[in-house]
C-alpha cells in the first residue's frame, strides 16, 4: 500500500500537465480570415495618422441597404454584419416628421389607417413613392445596433473607428397639403403607432455616449500624438489635423469608437421644422462649423480630373502636392450613383487620392462582368479593393500566403514567407530572404522617400546602420496618400518593383507589425503552438515514463523478505499442530 501514494501523486501530476497543455492550445488564437488580418495590419500602420486623413469603405444606408431590405429590423442585422466584415463609414438619412415632431428612419409618415402593430412591416406611400417600413425600426434601434457592435469588438485586437454621416430631411406638412387637401394632412396627425421616435438629435445618439467622440473632446486630445513609435510623424499630423487626434490617440487613449457629423441639412424652414440646439452641438459635429469635410459625387468631373492628375504625376518626386493634401483637406468622401457607379479600378483610384468611397448605387459590375445586386455581394466584391495597403489579389486568391497556403508541411524556405513588399498593385507577401530595394522613409516628413537603386538587401538586414540614408529608416505608408507618394517616387526614379516596406509577421503568424524583423506582436504571445509543444513535451514524456515504471514495479516486483517470513511461520504452525493435536475441548 505504501507505493500507492507516489503512484497516485504522479498520476495526478501527469494528468494536470496534459490538461494544462490542452487548455493552452485550445485558448491560443486561431488563424484569422485573411481580410481581417489585412485590415488589422492596415489599421495598425495608420495609427500615427490623423483621423482626418483616414480612408476606408462606406455605405449609404438608405440607397444601398434600406431600399433593398426595407426599413426593418432584419436590415439592422445586415448592417451589423457589414460593420463586422469591414464597413467603417455609414451615410444615414434622418427624417424629421413634422406631424409627430419626432425623428425617424422611414422616409414616409404612418397614416392613421395603418396597422397599430409596431412589429409588422407595412407599405406606406409618400410623395409618390412606396416604402416598406416597420414601426419599431427607430433611430434608437439603429443606434443600439452600433452599440452592440462596439461592445462586441471593444478590444485592442478589434477596435476601430467608425464614422457616421447624417443627412437631415423633412417629412413636411406642406408636402401633404400640396398633394391633395386638408384631409391629406389630418390623416398623418394621429398615427396608430406612437412614441417610437426621438424628439431631439441628442436623444437619437444617446445610446452611443460611451463610444462617441464629441466636439468637447477635441481640445483634450489634440496635443497628444499617441503611443506610436513614429512620434515625429505623428507630430506632423498633429500640426496639420485641425485639432483632431491621431487614430492611436482616438482609439487607445481617448477610448472612443465613433464620430458623428451632420454633413447635409435639408430641413425645410417652417414653424414645425427642427432647429439644431446647443445640446445637439455638444454631441454632433457640423460640417458648417467644426467638421471641415468634403462630400463629392462620382459624377463630379473636377474631382475626377484632380484625382487623375495626382495618379499620373510620376515625372516629379517632390512631396509638396501630398503635403498640401494633408494640410488643406479633411474627411474627404465620394458617393457614387447609378449613372456613375464605382468599378473596382475607380474605387481604388479614389482611395489612393485620399477619398473614402461610399457605395450608393443600386447594383454594380464586378471584375468577372457579373452583376452584383445583393448587399452582401456588393460588399464582398469591394472590400478587398478598399484595403489600399494590399494588393487585392493577395486577399482573394486561395493560394495566397494570407489564406494559409503552404502553412502545413512547409519547408524552411516557405516559412520565410513572412515579409511584405510593395508591388505595383499594393502589398504582397514575399520570402524574407529575397533581396529587394528598401523603401526608406523620412523620420519627420511622411511623404519624403529615398531608395538606393543599387543595393538590394534581404529583409533581415533592415537593422543595419547603412540600410537607409541618415534621417531615414525602412518605412511603411501610413495612409493611402503616403502610399501614392511612394508609388510616384518609384515611378519617377525608375525603380523596379517590388520594394521592401517595414511590415512583417515573423514573430507571430497573422500578426503584422512594423519596427523591423524582430518587432514583437502586441496581441499574441511570441511562442507558437509548435514551440510551446516542443517546450512542454520532454517533461511530459519523462513524467509518463516514470509513471509507467512505478506501475510495473507495483504489480511485478516480489519482496523476498516478506515471502520467507510467511513460509517460516506457516511451517512452524504446522509442526506445532502435529505435536499438540488435541481432541475435544481441553480441560
Question: What's the confidence (pLDDT) of residue 290?
Answer: 85
Question: What's the confidence (pLDDT) of residue 33?
Answer: 81
- 126: nearest Cα among 88, 97, 155: 97
pLDDT above 60 for 515? yes
d(CA 358, CA 58): 4
Backbone φ and ψ of 286, nearest 5°: -120, 130
- 421: nearest Cα among 404, 401, 405, 437: 437
- 400: nearest Cα among 510, 525, 528, 527: 510
Decide if 402 contacts 38 (C-beta within 8 A).
yes
Q: Which three cell numbers mark 409?
A: 508541411
d(CA 58, CA 511): 25
pLDDT above 70 for 411? no
Q: Among 285-299, 393-407, 500-514, which stretch is predicted with the lowest mean pLDDT?
A: 393-407
Percent of the chain with pLDDT over 90: 55
- 24: nearest Cα among 562, 525, 556: 525
Q: pTM for the full model?
A: 0.81
Q: Which residues pair with 286 in a beta bridge?
A: 262
Q: Which three cell numbers mark 70?
A: 426595407
Give the HSE-up count for residue 476: Cα atoms under 13 Å, Cβ half-sphere. Answer: 29
pLDDT in tens, 303-361: 999 999 999 876 666 678 888 888 889 999 999 999 999 999 999 999 999 999 999 99
pLDDT above 50 for 409? no
pLDDT in tens, 200-214: 999 999 999 999 999
d(CA 346, CA 331): 19
pLDDT above 70 for 514? yes
Which residue did the predictor score with more confidence, 513 or 565? 513
Q: Determine the Cα angle at 111 with ends 107 and 112, to 5°.
A: 155
Which residue did the predictor score with more confidence, 4 or 505? 505
Domain ranges of the chain: 4-26+533-579, 54-214+258-389
**In the structure, what pLDDT confidence band is assigned to residue 3 with cuts at 50, 70 and 90?**
very low
Give the chain's radius of gyration (CA, Å).
Answer: 34
d(CA 237, CA 49): 6
- 228: nearest Cα among 248, 251, 257: 248
Question: What's the confidence (pLDDT) of residue 224?
Answer: 46
Q: Which residues pair with 427 in a beta bridge?
A: 390, 422
**In the structure, what pLDDT confidence band is assigned to residue 265 with cuts at 50, 70 and 90?**
very high
Question: What's the confidence (pLDDT) of residue 374?
Answer: 86
The pairing of strands 364-365 and 371-372 is antiparallel
pLDDT in tens, 64-102: 899 989 999 999 999 999 999 999 999 999 999 999 899
Backbone φ and ψ of 540, nearest 5°: -65, -40
Helix (H) or strand (E) holding 486: helix 480-492
- 101: nearest Cα among 179, 191, 207: 191
Amino acid at each position: 500500500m505504501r507505493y500507492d501514494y507516489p503512484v497516485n501523486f504522479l498520476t495526478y501530476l501527469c494528468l494536470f500537465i496534459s490538461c494544462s497543455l490542452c487548455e493552452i492550445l485550445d485558448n491560443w488564437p486561431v488563424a484569422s480570415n485573411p481580410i481581417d488580418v489585412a485590415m488589422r495590419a492596415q489599421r495598425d500602420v495608420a495609427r500615427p495618422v490623423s483621423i482626418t486623413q483616414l480612408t476606408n469603405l462606406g455605405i449609404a444606408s438608405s440607397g444601398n441597404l434600406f431600399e433593398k431590405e426595407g426599413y426593418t429590423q432584419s436590415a439592422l442585422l445586415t448592417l451589423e454584419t457589414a460593420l463586422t466584415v469591414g464597413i467603417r463609414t455609414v451615410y444615414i438619412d434622418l427624417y424629421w416628421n413634422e406631424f409627430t415632431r419626432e425623428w425617424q428612419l422611414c422616409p414616409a409618415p404612418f397614416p392613421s389607417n395603418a396597422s397599430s402593430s409596431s412589429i409588422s412591416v407595412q407599405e406606406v406611400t409618400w410623395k409618390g413613392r412606396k416604402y416598406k417600413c416597420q414601426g419599431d425600426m427607430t433611430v434608437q434601434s439603429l443606434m443600439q445596433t452600433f452599440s452592440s457592435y462596439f461592445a462586441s469588438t471593444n478590444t485592442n485586437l478589434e477596435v476601430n473607428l467608425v464614422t457616421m454621416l447624417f443627412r437631415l430631411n423633412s417629412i413636411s406638412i406642406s408636402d401633404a397639403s400640396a398633394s391633395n387637401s386638408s384631409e391629406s394632412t389630418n390623416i398623418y396627425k394621429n398615427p396608430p403607432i406612437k412614441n417610437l421616435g426621438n424628439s431631439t438629435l441628442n436623444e437619437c445618439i444617446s445610446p452611443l455616449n460611451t463610444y462617441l467622440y464629441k466636439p468637447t473632446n477635441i481640445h483634450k486630445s489634440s496635443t497628444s500624438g499617441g503611443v506610436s513609435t513614429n512620434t515625429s510623424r505623428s507630430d506632423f499630423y498633429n500640426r496639420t489635423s485641425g485639432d483632431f487626434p491621431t487614430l492611436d490617440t482616438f482609439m487607445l487613449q481617448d477610448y472612443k469608437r465613433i464620430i458623428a457629423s451632420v454633413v447635409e441639412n435639408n430641413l425645410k424652414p417652417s414653424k414645425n421644422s427642427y432647429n439644431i440646439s446647443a445640446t445637439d452641438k455638444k454631441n454632433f459635429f457640423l460640417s458648417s462649423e467644426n467638421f471641415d469635410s468634403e462630400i463629392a459625387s462620382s459624377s463630379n468631373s473636377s474631382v475626377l480630373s484632380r484625382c487623375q492628375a495626382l495618379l499620373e504625376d510620376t515625372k516629379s518626386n517632390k512631396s509638396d502636392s501630398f503635403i498640401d493634401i494633408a494640410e488643406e483637406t479633411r474627411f474627404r468622401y465620394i458617393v457614387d450613383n447609378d449613372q456613375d457607379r464605382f468599378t473596382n479600378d475607380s474605387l481604388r483610384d479614389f482611395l489612393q487620392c485620399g477619398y473614402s468611397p461610399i457605395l450608393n448605387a443600386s447594383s454594380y459590375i464586378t471584375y468577372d462582368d457579373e452583376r452584383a445586386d445583393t448587399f452582401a455581394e456588393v460588399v464582398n466584391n469591394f472590400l478587398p479593393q478598399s484595403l489600399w495597403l494590399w494588393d487585392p489579389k493577395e486577399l482573394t486568391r486561395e493560394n495566397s500566403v494570407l489564406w494559409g497556403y503552404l502553412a502545413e508541411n512547409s519547408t524552411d524556405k516557405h516559412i520565410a514567407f513572412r515579409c511584405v513588399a510593395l508591388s505595383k498593385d499594393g502589398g504582397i507577401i514575399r520570402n524574407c530572404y529575397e533581396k529587394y530595394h528598401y523603401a526608406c522613409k523620412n523620420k519627420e516628413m511622411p511623404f519624403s522617400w529615398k531608395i538606393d537603386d543599387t543595393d538590394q538587401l534581404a529583409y533581415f538586414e533592415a537593422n543595419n546602420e547603412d540600410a537607409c540614408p541618415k534621417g531615414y529608416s525602412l518605412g511603411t505608408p501610413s495612409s493611402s496618400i503616403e502610399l501614392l507618394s511612394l508609388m510616384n517616387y518609384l515611378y519617377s526614379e525608375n525603380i523596379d518593383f517590388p520594394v521592401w516596406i517595414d511590415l512583417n509577421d515573423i514573430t507571430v503568424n497573422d500578426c503584422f507589425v512594423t519596427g523591423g524583423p524582430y518587432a514583437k506582436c502586441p496581441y499574441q504571445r511570441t511562442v507558437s503552438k509548435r514551440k510551446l509543444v516542443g517546450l512542454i513535451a520532454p517533461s511530459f514524456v519523462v513524467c509518463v515514463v516514470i509513471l509507467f515504471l512505478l506501475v510495473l514495479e507495483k504489480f511485478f516486483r516480489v519482496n523476498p523478505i516478506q515471502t520467507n517470513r510467511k513460509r517460516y511461520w506457516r511451517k512452524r504452525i504446522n509442526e506445532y499442530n502435529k505435536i499438540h493435536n488435541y481432541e475435544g475441548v481441553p480441560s
